[in-house]
Amino acid sequence: MRHLLSIADLDRSDLESLLNLTDRFVEVSRRPIRNVPALRGRTVVSLFFEDSTRTRLSFETAAKRLGADVMTFSVGTSSVKKGESLRDTVETISAFGIDAIVVRHASSGVPSTIRRWTSAAILNGGDGWHQHPTQALLDSYTIRSHFGSLDGLRIAIVGDIKHSRVARSDVQAFTKLGAEVVLVAPPTLLPPSLEGWPVTVSHDLDAVVGTIDVCYLLRMQRERMVEALVPSLREYAQRFGLSPERADRLGERAIIMHPGPMNRGVEISPEAADRPNAVVTEQVANGVAVRQAALFRLLGTESQLESLEPKGTS
Ligand code: NCD
């Protein structure tokens, strides 16, 4: 694996091998000293053209825990403000001698495009509506840690599918790992065509909520909506929000997920978000280990895997 651009590029065994590698970094994270020198001397740049809390901090934490140097590029204070092109920006950063770029951009395809202008490995931190592969990996990891496997699980992804790179990536990862996915949304929040999506669709959350193992709520992405796609947020919350009453109807083992940032009171009620079976902060915690696995897979070597073994064992 040279880059991590899209879940579409990975098959089931690639996904499983990344999740198994994540297990090792979760084990490392439980030690008193959480840092391992697996990527010492390597440099990782985070290049975020779009807002982010979780993804950027998580990637930077992951790189630092692997002993890599981290360069943070803040678009707001850079020459991008003076009109520097994407290509010049990437070529300039590359001239410093770097090993990986984590990129987030509002346009689909940017991570793939910039490959041509650098020899660094590219990790997609979210591109437009297209892909967010590490989110899908951390979501798959979180589900696997609760159920042992995704095989045969029924997962509902609820809400603003149309604008969601998380939904696109999750559908691919979950189904490759053996789960069944049902999309739950009003027609206006679904993509115009679902051809090639291995999913079923429902417009009725009440009909679905009692039948699922995972209830995955998506943020209403108002920044991407050019027109009003729902009559009002209140009405949306009434029909598609996870209210306490709906959360009560989930199966005993079912979990509630959200990629963050949550709009409490819109797609999820504050009370449902704070239930013990809501695993949103677990998703964030697993995100660091997943990104360590991704960075290590692209930049590390087999022999460095040994540095992960606890001292005094083996
Ligand atoms: C998501 C994103 O930016 O794609 N957030 C995240 O990375 N955790 C989802 C969102 O913004 O709704």
Sheet holding 43-48, edge to edge: 69-74, 43-48, 100-105, 121-127
Kindly report, residue by residue over 280-295, the tens digit of the pLDDT.
Answer: 999 999 999 999 999 9
pLDDT exceeds 90 at position 141: yes
169: left (phi over 0), alpha (psi -120 to 50) or beta: alpha
How far, in Å, CA of 174 to CA of 182, rounded?
Answer: 11
Dihedral sign for Cα 201, 202, 203, 209, please: negative
Q: What distances in angstroms separate CA 107 from CA 51, 112, 137, 219, one per listed residue?
A: 13, 11, 21, 19
Indicate which atom in ligand 1 lies nearest the CA of residue 55: 7
Closest by CA position to 255, among listed 205, 213, 209, 283: 213
pLDDT value for 36:
93
Q: What distances in angstroms separate CA 289 from CA 36, 41, 99, 210, one per listed residue?
A: 12, 20, 19, 32
Choose the residue to mutate in 50, 166, 268 for probing ligand 1, maximizing ligand atoms within 8 Å of C-beta. 166
Q: What is the Å distance from ligand 1's center to 241 Cα?
A: 18
How far, in Å, CA of 39 to CA of 297, rounded?
Answer: 11
How far, in Å, CA of 177 to CA of 190, rounded?
Answer: 23
pLDDT exceeds 90 at position 199: yes
Residues at CB less than 6 angstroms from ligand 1? 54-55, 126, 132, 135, 165-166, 219, 221, 259-260
| 8 Å CB contact between 236 and 230 | yes
How far, in Å, CA of 91 to CA of 107, rounded?
Answer: 19
How far, in Å, CA of 175 to CA of 102, rounded?
Answer: 26
pLDDT exceeds 80 at position 25: yes
Kindly report, residue by residue over 227-273, the tens digit of the pLDDT.
Answer: 778 888 899 999 999 999 999 999 999 999 999 999 999 999 999 99
Just list the catalytic residues.
54-55, 82, 104, 132
Which residue's CA is minimally distant from atom 7 of ligand 1? 55
| 8 Å CB contact between 53 and 83 | no
Indicate which atom in ligand 1 lies nearest the CA of residue 218: 12
Mean pLDDT, range 165-177, rounded to an integer: 98
pLDDT exceeds 70 at position 311: no
Domains and CATH numbers, the chain: 7-131+284-308 (3.40.50.1370), 133-280 (3.40.50.1370)
pTM of the model: 0.95
Neighbouring residues of 109: CB distance < 8 A, sequence distance ≥ 6: 127, 128, 130
Choose the residue to mutate in 55, 222, 288 for probing ligand 1, maximizing ligand atoms within 8 Å of C-beta. 55
In the chain, count of helices (H) and strands (E)?
A: 12, 9
pLDDT value for 314:
46
Indicate which atom in ligand 1 lies nearest the CA of residue 165: 4
| Residue 61 pLDDT class (50, 70, 90 cuts) | very high
pLDDT value for 81:
67
pLDDT value for 53:
85
pLDDT exceeds 70 at position 27: yes
Mean pLDDT, range 82-87, rounded to an integer: 82
Kindly report, residue by residue over 90-140, the tens digit of the pLDDT.
Answer: 999 999 999 999 999 999 999 999 999 999 999 999 999 999 999 999 999
Q: What is the largest CA-CA distance in the chain?
A: 62
Measured torsion, CA atoms of residues 110, 115, 118, 120, in degrees rounded to the nearest 10: 100
pLDDT value for 84:
78
Kindly report, residue by residue over 215-229, the tens digit of the pLDDT.
Answer: 999 998 877 766 778
pLDDT value for 312:
52
